[in-house]
A and B are shown apart, each in its own frame.
Chain A
Amino acid sequence: GDSVTQMEGPVTLSEEAFLTINCTYTATGYPSLFWYVQYPGEGLQLLLKATKADDKGSNKGFEATYRKETTSFHLEKGSVQVSDSAVYFCVRGSTLGRLYFGRGTQLTVWP
């Protein structure tokens, strides 16, 4: 069935380290792809999105490229900060609009 698989956490990094959170999806067609983030004590927020193949979404230093060949949408950041500590969700869209979420990856960044 359709699903989103993302790297299991938790991920613990030192400040200024490079971050990659892997995400792959299965779907018929070419759905929009998103990364949502949940900071401690807050609700879900859109971090970035890409709507078609080869699109690169970016925001707050985070990037993810829509790769249809590998059905992937990996999240990257070159230099993480303590304030990036949160749970990150890889998400796939659908024709009717419902979202399919991965399980989430907990990121903790230490100073």
Chain B
Amino acid sequence: DTGVSQNPRHKITKRGQNVTFRCDPISEHNRLYWYRQTLGQGPEFLTYFQNEAQLEKSRLLSDRFSAERPEGSISTVTIQRTEQRDSAMYRCASRGTLQETQYFGPGTRLLVL
């Protein structure tokens, strides 16, 4: 257990539905990252927060994807009008300002039918 939690661990939804999942980082970590991992690939960067500010977002992200971290702690990701290509493992990681190591949560596995 790294101290980073995510829920739900699994989510099955129908195409066109909206989904939201959540990340609880290690409490003293001010930096939070989201990654997406598909089968046979390594995790791919999605977005990054420093405290409540979203400082970087992948160019590959569609406008159906949004993330927030309003109080600089818990973060949520929402995917609107889900498509089958959104099926993946969504991983959250956190780190402190002076650290380079990111600590990963267990991930949320999304399946869009």
On chain A, the number of residues with a Cβ less than 8 Å from chain B's Cβ atoms is 23
In terms of DSSP, what is the predominant structure of the interface of chain B?
Answer: strand
Complex CA gap A45/B93 in Å reads: 11
Complex CA gap A99/B101 in Å reads: 10
B106 contacts the other chain (CB 8 A)? yes
A100 contacts the other chain (CB 8 A)? yes
> A101 near B42 (CB under 8 angstroms)?
yes
Per-residue contact bits, chain A 38-73, to B (CB 8 Å; 1 contact, 0 not): 000011111001010000000000000000000000
Segment among A13-21, A76-84, A90-98 that sits at the interface with chain B: A90-98
> A100 near B45 (CB under 8 angstroms)?
yes
> A49 near B104 (CB under 8 angstroms)?
no
On chain B, the number of residues with a Cβ less than 8 Å from chain A's Cβ atoms is 24
Complex CA gap A46/B101 in Å reads: 7
> B33 near A45 (CB under 8 angstroms)?
no
Given A96-B55, A98-B56, CB of A44 within 8 Å of CB of B45: no
Count A-B contacts at CB 8 Å.
58
Per-residue contact bits, chain B 38-61, to A (CB 8 Å; 1 contact, 0 not): 001111110010000001100000
Partner of A98, one of B41, B42, B45, B107: B45
> A104 near B2 (CB under 8 angstroms)?
no
Partner of B95, one of A51, A89, A97: A97
A22 contacts the other chain (CB 8 A)? no
Complex CA gap A51/B99 in Å reads: 11
Chain A residues, Cβ within 8 Å of B44: 101
Complex CA gap A42/B104 in Å reads: 10
Binding site for A on B (CB under 8 A): 2, 31, 33, 35, 40-45, 48, 55-56, 91, 93, 95, 100-107
Binding site for B on A (CB under 8 A): 4, 32, 34, 36, 42-46, 49, 51, 89, 91, 93, 96-104
